[in-house]
Structure 1
Amino acid sequence: MRKTIKFWAYPFALMGISIFVISSCSKDDSSDRGVYVGSASRGDLVTFEINKTDKTYSVDNETTGASESGSYTIMDGELDGIYKVSTGGHYFYAVELDNQALAANFPSGHAENKISFGVSSSINNVGKESQIAGNYIYIHFCNSAINGNVRNKEWGIVSVLANGTLYIKPYATGGDPGLSGLTPLAPEEFNTSLPLSSGDLQGSWSVNGDDKAKLNVGIQGTQYTGFSYTSGSSATFLLDMGTGNGYILGLKIPSTTIPIAQLTGTYKFVGVVEDGKKLGGNALIKSDGTGTCALEIDGVLSDNEYFENITQCPHLPNVLYADHFDPDFPTYQGKAYFVLEGDIMMYFIFDNEGLFNAYGAGAKMN
């Protein structure tokens, strides 16, 4: 029996879902405000403003011209620190990381925007080109069918080179490659040498000199808007793919092997399940190869899901995969992927037939 996963949408770094930003706050003298710029899963450019003093938020959708606003509460207990919004009879969630990035599934100016991600508008990427350059594993957060089925998703590799060139190599999580041309490949099977020297897509990139949180990206004659957030422990590459095409969110791949102990910890996240429901969650990844998860979907808390056999991908050291279990459905066993970089995470969950069930993003929070 197919079920909707309650799981927080484990951190797998791949696909296109309109994802809320983990972002750095821009402050003024009167309030503790965070302004974040990024993309939503329809491919809309969005700006989030979080007022921590009043516990209010607003969202401006640059693509549609629509705006959303309201108030939020801060959750406690197992989901402590996650922002929660109640509107229209439903609940939505967001996670903020160190006032630098934000991931959210709030309403964002179009019904097709399921999850969004953004970075602080105060970020200045000028002079950080060498920190941005590198190889990233990405998830394409998007509502489109891949290889003939919306429950297949796209993930892949972006090589962002210091000379201003970038290459993108996409893969599918399943399906017939003859339908949209994406080769099915699991992350644990990836073994291509990096950086890429070619890709299905090739383009150029540079820092936007006027709007310094943004990147100018040109791919095969079309201009796109990118965003980057770098820190001592994290590097993200966010690329809006245009209306109807969602966005790709990439986390930098370490150049050397890292012990799994460095990836363990508690991560708070937001996500979307395959039937469109929104969730906020808390996942604990342990060094013994096990983990637990608590999540809330539309106001209902579940805290009995777990995973076993957590394993690092051989050639993608910051990508973990695991068996995922839900005791409420004893015959169900799925697969979870987590993509981790510093304090930022993404995830993907699949059912026992290999079909997509949930994805999202979040952060390690103290």
Structure 2
Amino acid sequence: MRKLVALLAVVAGIALAVQACGGDPEVAGSDAGSISPDTGGGVPTRGYSGSASRGDLVVFQIDPEHRTYTVHNETTNQDENGSYSILDGDFAGIKEVTANGKRFFAVELDDKVLAANFPVANSQANIYAGISSDIDNTGKEAQISGTYSWIHLTDEPINGSSTIKEWGILSVLANGTFKKWNFASGAGTGTPAITPMAPEALAAPVPPTSTPSETGTWGVAGSAKERLAVTIDGLAGVTLTGFAYAAEDASVFLLDLGTGKGFMLGLKNPAAHYTRAEIAGTYRFIDLWYAGSSVYRGAGTYLLPATGDGTYDHKSEDGSLATGYLQGIEACPNIPNMFVITKMQWGSTTTQDDDNVIRFAVVGKVVLHFTFDAEGNFVSYGVGARLE
């Protein structure tokens, strides 16, 4: 049963969530008023630049008129392509691809952000996030600057264990520098190199006043103006590729950490903590979860009300469906955009409990989640979007 429990525990959405504008008249009975419209009739192709969880630089092209996509993996110099359908009902607006007997999913914030667990020309890269290739970040230092809550999406061991993940706080300054504080979900094996800490245990203020784990510089990367050139102090001769999308409802900072090292995805913190009423709504999401040594993909919908319990519906890569309840939704004390779901109940009744804990960060309509068990071992992360 742990495999099913792990599957369901992902429902509160990571990873990067996306909210789009306009409805899709081709989705029967659609309530997807914020999902990117693939209406045909000359809708232009949309491009996205970003990173996949292996640390690959990847460019997506979405052709909404023909409902096809192409992927160019700049790191492997390999390509993928295919066609997609758009789900309806409880999953309205989510893109679905079927390949090799499995289903893959994507959620798109039209011309802004794309999150996908589609194949990306590397079998070891399981989840992708990217921003519009048309974005020009020139002169947007002030809009990009701020404090971000982030998680490191990678299979690389943290504190000596592949089941431990890294999260933290990023302070991006308008003068082209940054400070980064790193924490781990658990101690792992041996003496931990990264301090183990749950987000709800982080003391005020945020960003911390303690010495940062890393510092460095950032700026627009030449002619590729959607990209950032990022250097880390002490890492001589290495320039990393970052991406930023700065908007009130979707401020995202993405940093590719290099081949084999995955990427970091951060959501900007507001000046004051969000309330339950401010984050209430219906979300679509994609997700990725581990059960033992196996990796699984899925997608779904969850409802977070202004008070009380939430609910969810989930579809896995084999087409199986699940529903459940999200309980004990609490604000993370000192991280303004983060909440904690302390209990899940899954199935057709409320008698089957799951002790995994879900943390999710929100910025406007964008949400990122990550799930760990009581020992800090990773269960899942994913992506979603609040709908109007």
Give the secondary structure class of the aligned counterpart of 1:188. Answer: helix
* Alpha carbons 1:20, 1:40 under 8 Å: kept: no
1:99 Cα deviation from its structure 2 partner:
2.5
Q: Distance in 2 between matches of 1:23 and 1:33?
A: 16
CA distance in 2, matches of 1:177, 1:136: 28
Partner in structure 1 of residue 366 of structure 2: 344
State the match for 2:230 in structure 1.
217
Corresponding letter in the other structure for 2:228: L
Per-residue displacement from partner, 1:117-146 (whole Å, max 9, x unpaired)? Answer: 000000111121101000100010001122
From the superposition, tell whether residues 113 and 21 of structure 1 become closer, same or farther in structure 2 (CA, over 3 Å): farther
1:196-207 equivalences in 2 (<5 Å): 196=208, 198-207=211-220
- Deviation of the 1:283 alpha carbon: 1.3
Distance 1:331 1:344, change over 3 A: closer
- Go from structure 1 to structure 2 and tell me whether the alpha carbon gap of 1:341 and 1:313 turns closer, same or farther (over 3 Å shift): same
Whether the 8 Å CA contact 1:12–1:319 is kept in 2: the answer is no
**Residue among 79, 104, 108 paired with 2:91:** 79
Looking at structure 1, the residues matched to 73 and 188 of structure 2 have their Cα atoms a distance apart, in angstroms, of 35
1:325 is matched by which residue type in structure 2?
Q
- Residue 327 in structure 1 maps to residue 340 in structure 2: no
> Residues 64, 57 of structure 1: CA spacing in aligned structure 2 closer, same or farther, 3 A cutoff?
same
Contact kept in structure 1, 2:18 and 2:250, CA below 8 Å: no
Tell me if the contact between 2:185 and 2:372 (Cα under 8 Å) persists in the aligned partners.
no
Q: Per the alignment, in what secondary structure is the counterpart of residue 229 of structure 2?
A: strand
Tell me, in whole angstroms, the C-alpha distance in 2 between the residues paired with 1:194 and 1:245.
Answer: 26
Correspondence list, 1:1-366, <5 A? 2-4=2-4, 5-7=6-8, 9-11=10-12, 31-176=43-188, 178-196=190-208, 198-220=211-233, 221=236, 222-274=238-290, 275-322=294-341, 323-327=343-347, 330-366=352-388
1:351 Cα shift? 3.4
Looking at structure 2, the residues matched to 101 and 213 of structure 1 have their Cα atoms a distance apart, in angstroms, of: 12
1:178 Cα deviation (Å)? 4.5
TM-score between the two structures when normalised by the length of structure 2 = 0.87
Q: How many residue pairs get matched?
A: 360
1:354 & 1:230 partners in 2: Cα distance? 32
Any unmatched runs of 5+ in structure 1?
none
Asked if 2 retains the 8 angstrom alpha-carbon contact of 1:325 and 1:334, the reply is no
Identity %: 38
Contact 2:13/2:286 (8 A) holds in 1: no
Q: For structure 1, which segment, 109-118 or 324-333, has the greater mean C-alpha deviation from structure 2 after superposition?
A: 324-333
CA contact (8 A) 1:8 1:293 kept: no
TM-score by length of 1: 0.92
Q: Deviations over 1:29-74 (max 9, x none)?
A: 9542110000000000000011000000011000000100000000
Judging changes above 3 Å, is the alpha-carbon distance between structure 1 residues 146 and 72 closer, same or farther for their aligned structure 2 residues?
same
TM-superposed deviation, 1:22 = 7.8
Superposed displacement of residue 11, structure 1: 4.5
User: Which consecutive residues of structure 2, in runs of 5 or more, have no partner in the other structure?
Assistant: 22-35
- Give the alignment's Cα RMSD to 1 decimal: 2.4
What is the rounded CA distance, in whole Å, between the counterparts of 1:361 and 1:105 in structure 2? 10
Contact 2:17 2:385 in 1 (8 A): no
CA contact (8 A) 2:161 2:189 kept: no
Q: Is the 8 A contact 1:159 1:168 kept in 2?
A: yes
2:206–2:335 contact (8 Å) kept in structure 1:
no
Contact 1:22-1:99 at 8 Å conserved across structures: no
CA, structure 1 residues 13+73, in 2 after alignment: closer, same or farther (shift >3 Å)? Answer: closer
Q: 1:302 to 1:179 in 2, by over 3 A?
A: farther
